[in-house]
Structure 1
Amino acid sequence: MKTRRDTQPITMVYDIPSLLPPGTTPVSRLYYEDWNIKVVDREKSGCDNYLSPNRRDFYKIMFMTSGTGLKTMGNYNYYINERTILFLHPNEIVCWRNTTPTVGGGIFCMFKKRYLDQHPSLKLIIDRYKFFTEKKILRVSEQSAKMIHSLLSQMKIESETAGELAEEAMQAYVQLILVESLKGTDYAPTSEITNDYRHVYDFFELLEKETNLANLDNPIRMRTAKEYAQKLNLNPNYLNGLVKKHTGQPISTLIKNRLLEESKALLVQTDWTLQEISQIIGFADQPNFSQFFKKYVGVTPNEFRRSPISPDYEGKVQSSEESIVV
Structure 2
Amino acid sequence: MDPNSLEAFYTKIAKQDDAAPSAMPPADLQQEIGHFNVFNVALLMHRRQERPPMTFDRRAFYKISLIEGRSRIEYADQAVEVAGPALWFATSRVPYRWLPHNQDQTGYFCIFTEEFLLPVKGALAMEELPVFQPGGCPVLPLSSDEHAALAPLFQKMEQEMASTYAYKYDLLRAYLLELIHQGQKLQPAPAATPTHNASARVTALFTDLLERQFPLATPQQQLPLRTAKDYAEALNVHVNHLNRVLKETTGHTTTTLIASRVAQEAKMLLKQTTWTVSEIADSLGFADVAHFCNFFKRQTGLVPGAFRG
Q: Provide the TM-score with structure 1 as the length reference.
A: 0.48
Q: Which amino acid aligns with 1:56?
A: R
Q: Are the aligned partners of 1:31 and 1:57 in contact in 2 as well (CA < 8 Å)?
A: no
Offset, 1:184: 3.2
Match of 1:39 in 2: 38
The residue that corresponds to 1:49 in the other structure is 53
Tell me the alpha carbon deviations over residues 24-62 of structure 1, each in whole angstroms, 9 at most, x when there is no partner. x55346247646111011222246633433x42211101
Q: 1:27 to 1:185 in 2, by over 3 A?
A: closer
1:167 aligned partner: 169
CA contact (8 A) 2:84 2:142 kept: no
Q: Which residue of 1 aligns with 2:6?
A: 30
Q: 1:181 to 1:208 in 2, by over 3 A?
A: closer
Superposed displacement of residue 210, structure 1 = 4.2
Aligned equivalent of 1:269: none
| Corresponding residue number in structure 2 for 1:68 | 70
Secondary structure of 1:107 counterpart: strand
Give 1:149 deviation, angstroms.
Answer: 0.8
Is 1:209–2:185 an aligned residue pair?
no
Q: Are the equivalent residues in 2 in contact too, given 1:42–1:105 (CA < 8 A)?
A: yes
Classify 1:86/1:31 alpha carbon distance in 2 versus 1 (closer, same or farther; 3 Å). Answer: same
> Corresponding residue for 2:130?
130
Whether 1:184 and 2:191 are equivalent positions in the alignment is no
Cα distance in 2 for residues equivalent to 1:59 and 1:152: 15
| Amino acid aligned to 1:60 | K
1:1-326 → structure 2 map (5 Å cutoff): 26-28=2-4, 30-31=6-7, 34=30, 36-46=35-45, 49-53=53-57, 55-64=58-67, 66-98=68-100, 100-123=101-124, 130-133=130-133, 134-161=136-163, 163-184=165-186, 186=188, 209-211=216-218, 224=276, 227-228=279-280, 230=289, 231-232=292-293, 239=304, 242-243=307-308
Conserved in 1, the CA contact under 8 Å of 2:61 and 2:111?
yes
SS of 2:93 mapped into structure 1: coil
How many pairs were matched up? 191
- Kept in 1: contact 2:130–2:184 (CA 8 A): no
Distance 1:182 1:102 in 2: 30
| Contact 1:38/1:111 (<8 A) preserved | yes
CA spacing shift, 1:57–1:145, aligned 2, 3 Å = same
Shift of 1:122: 4.6
Helix, strand or coil: the match of 2:216?
Answer: helix
* Superposed CA offset, 1:117-144 (max 9, x none): 33244516x5775231134121222122
Deviations 1:76-112 (A, max 9, x none): 32122332001111011224333x2215111111111
- Decide whether the 8 Å contact of 1:86 with 1:137 is kept in 2: yes
Q: Is the 8 Å Cα contact of residues 144 and 183 (structure 1) preserved in structure 2?
A: no
Q: Distance in 2 between matches of 1:39 and 1:63?
A: 11
Aligned to 2:254: none
CA offsets 1:206-230 (integer angstroms, 9 cap, x no match) = 9961429869xxxxxx954554473
* Contact 2:66/2:85 (<8 A) preserved: yes
Distance in 1 (alpha carbons) for counterparts of 2:220 and 2:108: 32
Task: Give the TM-score normalised by the residue count of structure 2.
Answer: 0.51
Report the CA distance shift for 1:136/1:213 in structure 2 as closer, same or farther (over 3 A): farther
Q: 1:162: how far off?
A: 5.2
CA distance 1:106–1:160, shift in 2 (3 Å) = same
What one-letter code is carried by the residue in structure 2 that aligns with 1:81? A
RMSD: 3.8
Measure the CA separation in 2 of the matches of 1:153 and 1:137. 20
Distance, in Å, in 1 between the alignment partners of 2:88 and 2:218 is: 27
CA distance in 2, matches of 1:176, 1:44: 25
Q: Which amino acid aligns with 2:182?
A: E
Report the Cα distance in structure 2 between the residues aligned to 1:213 and 1:109, rounded to whole angstroms. 34
Alpha carbons 1:62, 1:85 under 8 Å: kept: yes
